[in-house]
Amino acid sequence: FFATTTYEYPLVKGIEAAEGVPPLESIQGPKIDLSDLDDLAATQDLLADVGMI
Has this prediction a pTM greater than 0.75?
Answer: no
pLDDT in tens, 14-34: 888 888 889 888 988 888 888
pLDDT at 26: 92
Q: Which domain holds residue 39?
A: 2-49
45 vs 19: CA distance, rounded Å: 34
pLDDT (mean) for 5-15: 87
How many folded domains does the chain comprise? Answer: 1
